[in-house]
Structure 1
């Protein structure tokens, strides 16, 4: 499946879209690799590779419209696509502060709907968020300098949802104090 996803990313031009640390495709592959190094299950790794298909709150360029969700699910699987959608739909300012709470308040930026996702999805969102931001911080010192303190605070709040390997990577990339 990942080979099909990479081929599709290439068809959609991800290797030509500028992104910190090179291209969007390079970033997506690094995020997938980081998740794999943390022992993430296959669905989360596939979601990491495809997390920007619908754009995100921090990267508005969409490779596919939401009307084509079924096509992405056919390539990466339903569970991985659900993670991709949730990551893309996450209104970060509204959702991240409560994501670690049992009754999280997740705001879908596409629909405006507010709900409390299941624990597994909240863990997936936390891990994917960490892999995404830590990749950017690792490859772009200016990004790390500008956002490091906020990322440490974010990951301190998400600590209950993060795996131990993700927490170690936070410390390695961002320094002490992030959780």
Structure 2
């Protein structure tokens, strides 16, 4: 019998990897899927949330499913969901932040040189909306846990520093999406104290070597 997407995520070992936020990687993936369900997003986008960092991202590289498996993932969750997850994984996040101010029909990102040679990736308006929805849900699901601790690999040297990570970009995404996404953003960031609201980190630091070896699942 074929696996469900949820069973696949478990079978490839995500329950054995610690995510940046301190939770197990698999638990974080399922939590992002739940956030999108709570926002009323359709099943395809919920599945994009479940797979949002399956190939590794600029901010999390301790687990990387081989790109050779993209065809399998498309069959499992659909082309729309897989493309969204793929973009979230390979993109240079500064490119996403830069295109937030572009008008309809003009959105694009580029991949990081280390994973896809810096390839230019044009996005339709619906693909852009999908990407910022999943990307925002990912951060809102974990930022409180990140902000409660130190993460030297990301340059967050004291508790609270994580609140400032790409602060304006995430705020812009929430305002663009509105509705449940904006409500969630405001609810999460209501937990930030005045002492950290001046912090702003507009870049994603180059990650140091992982504490444990990366896992590339074929």
Scaled by the length of structure 1, the TM-score of the pair is 0.87
What is the Cα deviation at residue 160 of structure 1?
Answer: 5.1
- 1:13 is matched with 13
What is the Cα deviation at residue 87 of structure 1?
Answer: 0.9
What is the Cα deviation at residue 27 of structure 1?
Answer: 0.4
Higher RCO (C-alpha under 8 Å, 6+ residues apart): 2
Mean Cα deviation higher: 85-94 or 100-109? 100-109
1:108-127 CA distances to partner (integer Å, 9 max, x unpaired)? 22231224311111111111
Which of 165, 172, 187 is matched with 1:150 structurally? 165
Mean Cα deviation higher: 30-39 or 121-130? 121-130
Please give the root-mean-square deviation of Cα atoms over the aligned residues, in Å: 2.1
- 2:176 is matched with 161
1:124 aligns with 2:124: no
Taking the aligned partners of 2:101 and 2:47, their CA distance within structure 1 comes to 23
Structure 1 stretches lacking a partner, 5+ long:
none
Structure 2 stretches lacking a partner, 5+ long:
150-158, 198-218
- 1:75 is matched with 76
Instruction: Indicate the structure with greater helix content.
Output: 1
Taking the aligned partners of 2:140 and 2:50, their CA distance within structure 1 comes to 15
Q: 1:70 to 1:166 in 2, by over 3 A?
A: same
Give yes or no for contact 1:53–1:64 (8 Å, CA) kept in 2. yes
Scaled by the length of structure 2, the TM-score of the pair is 0.73
